[in-house]
Structure 1
């Protein structure tokens, strides 16, 4: 087998960065969101979603949040021809979200309604996932994600909230996956990013390890509770 064929096979087994797609998503998002306040992080998220060329993009939206991140993800997904799913917790949140998106003149993406365990069980081969840090099921959502064999990019927005100061990616990553690299950025209201690599033999697996310590955050008090999963 030639060297070029080997490289092609390796690229098929991991996420590969595309500067061209990142640039397209970034530029279009800047054009649309230039009049929106607190949109500085949206262009970055859109560029990342476009650049990593994921086959499945998931967003976990929180009631009361703006929908600029959704706009950026939708732009990236349309450039890629990729499936983009937005999760909301109940029918009230769905109506709130749809109204906000339509008021912005943007298309409503594929919406799924339900609790973390129910919804994540229906979504497989996750490669790009954005979760609002204000959601009280933050750790559960990341822990239940069934990642692609190619790996995944995970993002937590609104990460500088009082309850988020002790956020740790190693609290959700199990033995079938590992954090290849991570970074916290002072954009928007705080952005935590992690590139997750999955062991090839495991594939399509949840991040959370059985009998592992699990961390949950009390959104009202900001207290961190740790228990066995």
Structure 2
């Protein structure tokens, strides 16, 4: 099975985000991110916020999560960042999402299958956060915001994800400071080898919906 686009929830998330962010400058990327989250209908949304950044992305993700009834987790680096994030959230009159504080390896180990993840390009542990994410069997949409400087220094999705996943497609959107998007899926060969060939993975395509169903035989 794979992530399937839903125009209805994408539209609802987009419209509500436009209404909420209409007084904010450079909010076009937030509206796009909110619509993407709403359209892909993830059950788990993860954001990694960088101290010193604004929280406009959180606005869009929070709206999308509310429409979807999805779990929304925001990762902050330390207690100081947590206080900074909570203060900024309250200044905008927003509900505070579920916050997780700590190093990438500790935080990501506590998160179940991720289907939609947004990381601020200003975070030094960006590569580690993406690389340690436990991907859903449906695949995952990964986004890097404010990524202009990061990607100029040689970042690449294939390098970050390694051989445990495969890059299905990627795009660069010239909004904000650069929005980099990737749709990745688990590397089935890696999954099979981890089971020492004790089982085999079978793929079936639903001819009516186009959904890919993967199960172990």
Q: TM-score, normalised by structure 2?
A: 0.85
Whether 1:89 aligns to 2:39 is no
The alignment of Structure 1 onto Structure 2 pairs a total of residues equal to 191
The 5 Å alignment of 1:62-141 reads: 62-141=50-129
Structure 2 residue runs of 5 or longer lacking an equivalent are 195-217
- Higher helix proportion (structure 1 or 2): 2
Among 151, 159, 163, the alignment partner of 1:164 is 151
Distance in 2 separating the partners of 1:67 and 1:199: 33
Q: TM-score, normalised by structure 1?
A: 0.81
Distance in 2 separating the partners of 1:200 and 1:18: 26
SS in 2 for 1:118: helix
How well do the aligned residues superpose, as a CA RMSD in angstroms?
Answer: 1.4
Distance in 2 separating the partners of 1:199 and 1:14: 14
The 5 Å alignment of 1:134-213 reads: 134-161=122-149, 163-165=150-152, 166-199=154-187, 202=191
Whether 1:43 aligns to 2:48 is no
Structure 1 residue runs of 5 or longer lacking an equivalent are 1-12, 206-229
Distance in 1 separating the partners of 2:161 and 2:48: 18
Shift of 1:200: 5.1
Counterpart position of 2:202:
none
Shift of 1:181: 0.2
Distance in 2 separating the partners of 1:164 and 1:138: 11
Whether 1:26 aligns to 2:51 is no
Distance in 2 separating the partners of 1:39 and 1:170: 29
